[in-house]
Amino acid sequence: MPAAAPLPRREAGAGRVGQGPLAIVAGGGAFPAAVAEAVRATGRDVVLLLIQGFADPDLERYPHFWFKLGSLGGVTQRARALGVHDVVMVGSLTRPRLRDLGMDWTMVRLLPRIARLLQGGDNHLLSGVLGLVGEQGFHLLGAHEAAPSLLLPEGRLGARIPSARDEADIALGLRLVRTLGPFDVGQGAIVVDGFVAAVEAAEGTDAMLARYGDLRRSGRLRFPAGLGVLVKAPKPGQDRRVDLPSLGPATILAAAAAGLAGIAFEAGGVIVPDAAELVHAADASGLFALGTPPLVRA
């Protein structure tokens, strides 16, 4: 791997919550860069801990270290020496094989726990990895806490207005996602005129949309274009520090290609790298985008 970018030296242990550089443990996708930019816009430094095999090499433009998931002990020592106290984990991460983890001695001692983490769902894995980071003495943040400007708000975004039928589909989709949440099944669903057409699983949102589009075009599902809703919401009980649902212009384009009428999401529970781009894509595609009230939690 390329050498790490130069980093400003700080006194070890100097950081306190909200002070010192923010460490961003970066998986795949566009969100590590979006969080880094949002945090830097507040005047705070960042250092990216790039997970080998997942993080985009373009993230090397930020101060960074590369590491394998099994070498958390070594990379957290380097971060601590720079005065890092707060850590956020952002980006996609799929379950690796145990032999690909690149274990250091710190992680070898935790091998039984790591093996158990690899046996659950994605939320179980991500929460477990973040927990191991926390045990190294760091304060753990969610992307919604580190970069709240990336959260989508409540209400209509863009020009299109959902119909009464769309709103009924949205309500059903939200109930479905929240009911399936305890099974760690995905964070999205497609509902068309009261019919549950697809539920997001390991394939992700875009692949679910492509699957629905294929079924509609093949005649297996006989719904006209411009009908149906993509619903995205966090799972109940989900650790929002590691796995908030996300949306972007590509998802809007995929929903349009699938023939849907629009998308709905839980306000404050979905992040987006650029809300203006999402709204532009929705308007250009003729889709509505609606933020629903947050789920009330006890």
**Does 174 share its domain with 141?**
no
Domain, as residue range, for 189: 151-292
Tell me the mean pLDDT in the region 180-199: 89
Residue 158 confidence (pLDDT): 94
Tell me the mean pLDDT in the region 271-281: 93
Rg (CA), the chain: 20
Domain end (from 113, 148, 183): 148
> Cα–Cα distance between 275 and 281 in angstroms, integer?
10
Tell me the mean pLDDT in the region 232-239: 79
Residue 16 confidence (pLDDT): 40
13 pLDDT above the threshold of 50: no
Mean pLDDT of the chain: 82
Let me know if residue 6 belongs to a domain.
Answer: no
**Does 163 share its domain with 144?**
no
pLDDT over 90 percentage in the chain:
52
Query: Per residue in 114-170, pLDDT tens?
Result: 556 555 555 556 666 667 777 777 888 988 899 999 999 999 999 999 999 999 999
Let me know if residue 162 belongs to a domain.
Answer: yes
**Does 168 share its domain with 233?**
yes
98 pLDDT above the threshold of 90: no
Let me know if residue 135 belongs to a domain.
Answer: yes
E-only strand ranges, the chain: 22-26, 46-51, 64-67, 86-90, 139-141, 155-157, 188-192, 195-199, 229-232, 262-266, 288-292
The closest of 158, 154, 164, 94 to 123, measured between CA atoms, is: 94
99 band by pLDDT with thresholds 50, 70 and 90: low
245 band by pLDDT with thresholds 50, 70 and 90: confident
How many domains is the chain built from? 2
Query: Per residue in 28-39, pLDDT tens?
Result: 888 899 999 999
